[in-house]
Every structure is written in C-alpha cells, then in structure tokens.
Amino acid sequence: DFWSALGGKKEYQTSKSLQRMINPPRLFGCSNKTGRLTVEEVPGDFTQSDLATDDVMLLDTWDQIFIWVGNDANAEERNGAPKIAKDYVDTDPSGRRGLPITTIKQGAEPPTFTGWFQAWDPKMWETDPLGRIRAHFSAQS
C-alpha cells in the first residue's frame, strides 16, 4: 500500500521558520512620553536599532513574550510593562494563554532574544552615535 511504501504514516514535521511565516514576530514600544503609558507597534520588519534605549519594548515571538528594558527607561515604563504584557496575552484573540513572559535588560540579551533580529550587534550601544561619528572623522583627519 502507498503509506507503507513510504515508511508508514507519521506526524508532520513542524518548522520554526514555517511558524514565523504564519505568525511573524511583532515588536511594540512602551513609552510614557505623552504623560501616560502607551504601546505602539513598530511597523514592518524591525531591526535592533528599533529598540529604543529610553523605553521598554515587547517582543511577541508567538510562543513567548520578551520584555526588553532599555537602560534609560523610566520607572513607570519599567513597572508598567509586565502588566501590559500580561494583558496583551490574556486578551489576544488567538486564545494564547499562559505564555512565558521573560524580562531582559539592555546589554544582557540572550540568544533566544537576539535570534529574532537580523545581524545583531552586541556592541551597538557601547558608544553613543555622536561619539562614533566624531571618532570616524577624527581618524580620517
């Protein structure tokens, strides 16, 4: 018979990359610059430079939520983000419940987080952008 010629019926192999295509990761910024804590999705394909060091960011990878805390995030953002992440999961129309929510600090990102960003640069925040530009031009003169 057909199936036995192929080795029998088995479970379909699932793939992380296929899951990403079906449920792509989403990045949100949590900020209280307006006087109240707001959440906005980063549109399109996000990169490491979309992580605002003066905010808290939420990364939804479908099977996990990361709370990324920028070094310059204020206390209201730091304290409000876990509740926002929990409310986000609890009200998700897909019915995902009980997802792990992991808080990580800028500069201490694990591979399970950085892997969602193309060409992650662990030294990106070691110098300020203006300092890098000055160093570039002073090296050329």
DSSP string, 58-119: EEE-SS-EEEEE-TT--HHHHHHHHHHHHHHHHT-TT---S--EEEEETT---HHHHTTSTT
Q: Long-range contacts: 58-62, Cβ < 8 Å, 24+?
A: 58/27, 58/28, 58/30, 58/84, 58/85, 58/88, 59/25, 59/26, 59/27, 59/28, 59/113, 59/116, 60/25, 60/26, 60/27, 60/28, 60/88, 61/25, 61/116, 62/19, 62/20, 62/23, 62/25, 62/96
What b/e string do you get for 114-135 counting C-beta neighbours within 10 Å, with b at 16 or more? eebbeeeeeeeeeeeeeeeeee
pLDDT tens for the chain, 141 residues: list them. Answer: 667 777 776 665 555 555 555 888 999 999 888 888 889 999 989 999 999 999 999 999 999 999 999 999 999 999 999 999 999 888 888 888 888 999 999 999 999 999 999 889 999 988 666 665 666 676 666
Sequence spans of domains, the chain? 23-140
Whether the model pTM is above 0.85: no
pLDDT at position 5: 72
State residue 21 phi and psi, 5-degree precision: -70, -40
CATH 3.40.20.10 holds for 23-140: yes
pLDDT at position 109: 96
